């Protein structure tokens, strides 16, 4: 793909997904746009085994944007980083098409692996602010990772993951339209668990009151028979 065509695609993606952008000219000031220009050049140098030059270009991008993408990472089309400060993408990360990351996301390793040690992110995935995905496993297509989640194992396609450690709280295996790729409409498993405990506690309380009423009635009848 030619450079100008790639730039036009980057501009279109940012304008589509960020309502704060009001003109194409603003995109040139956007961190996601700047860092992807650096990444594309650094990745080409990396593939040609010019590792020092690749890291030099990459680190210039880090200093300008606060976003660190290793030159060895593989990133597909339609990639978008919203705000982006603090985003880290490791060397063996593979990212599919139409993926959205928010600020503070880490796609990292565990520090104990060799070879492929970073995540593989499928197509049409959203990873919310502050989420950490650590290890060599796959985030399936059409999945959403909730803000602040720590994901340590594979995520099936079409899943919603929240919590620390992250757990699947919803799965439908369907493509997500862009209007649903947000950080708000996520299940709250802790709230759901507390609500379940409250229901069970209420049921047990009602049952106990019923049993106490039965015991009182039996005691009353016993006292009545003794009086006779």
Spell out the residues 6+ positions from residue 97 whose beta carbon is closer than 8 angstroms to its own: 76, 77, 78, 79, 123, 124
**Do 120 and 138 meet the contact criterion of CB atoms below 8 Å apart?**
yes
DSSP character for 174?
-
Average confidence (pLDDT) over 188-203: 77
Q: How far apart are CA 142 and CA 65, in angstroms?
A: 28
Spell out the residues 6+ positions from residue 205 whose beta carbon is closer than 8 angstroms to its own: none
- Is it the case that residue 4 has pLDDT exceeding 80? no
Q: For the segment 145-191, what is each residue's pLDDT rounded down to a tens digit?
A: 988 899 998 999 888 888 888 788 876 755 555 555 555 566 666 66
Q: For the segment 11-64, what is each residue's pLDDT rounded down to a tens digit?
A: 777 777 777 777 777 788 888 888 988 999 999 999 999 999 999 999 999 999
Q: What are the C-alpha distances in Å from 156 to residues 6, 37, 40, 119, 185?
A: 31, 32, 29, 13, 19
Q: How far apart are CA 58 and CA 41, in angstroms?
A: 8
Q: For the segment 67-96, what is each residue's pLDDT rounded down to a tens digit?
A: 999 999 999 988 988 887 889 999 999 999
Render 4-55 in DSSP notation, one character per residue.
HHHHHHHHHHHHHH-TT--SHHHHTT-HHHHHHHHHHHHHHHHHTT-HHHHH
Q: How far apart are CA 75 and CA 115, in angstroms?
A: 18
**ω into residue 165 within 30 of 0, thus cis?**
yes
Strand-pair partners of 145: 127, 161
Spell out the residues 6+ positions from residue 3 whose beta carbon is closer than 8 angstroms to its own: none
Q: In what order do the strands lie in the sheet with 100-102?
A: 80-82, 100-102, 126-127, 144-145, 159-162, 167-171
């Amino acid at each position: 793909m030619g450079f100008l065509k790639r730039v036009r695609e980057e501009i279109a993606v940012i304008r589509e997904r960020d309502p704060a952008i009001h003109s194409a000219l603003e995109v040139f000031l956007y961190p996601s746009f700047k860092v992807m220009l650096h990444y594309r050049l650094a990745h080409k140098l990396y593939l040609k085994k010019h590792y020092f030059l690749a890291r030099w270009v990459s680190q210039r991008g880090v200093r300008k944007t606060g976003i660190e993408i290793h030159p060895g990472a593989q990133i597909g089309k339609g990639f978008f980083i919203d705000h982006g400060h603090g985003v880290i993408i490791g060397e063996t990360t593979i990212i599919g098409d139409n993926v959205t990351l928010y600020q503070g996301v880490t796609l990292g390793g565990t520090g104990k692996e060799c070879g492929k040690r970073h995540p593989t992110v499928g197509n049409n995935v959203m990873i919310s602010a502050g989420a950490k995905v650590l290890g060599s496993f796959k985030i399936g297509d059409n999945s959403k990772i909730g803000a602040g989640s720590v994901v340590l194992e594979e995520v099936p396609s079409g899943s919603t993951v929240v919590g620390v450690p992250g757990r699947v709280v919803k799965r439908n295996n369907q493509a997500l339209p862009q209007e649903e790729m947000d950080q708000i409409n996520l299940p709250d498993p802790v709230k759901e668990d507390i609500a379940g405990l409250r229901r069970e506690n209420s049921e047990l309380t009602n049952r106990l009151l019923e049993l106490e009423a039965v015991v009182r009635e039996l005691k009353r009848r016993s006292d009545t028979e003794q009086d006779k």
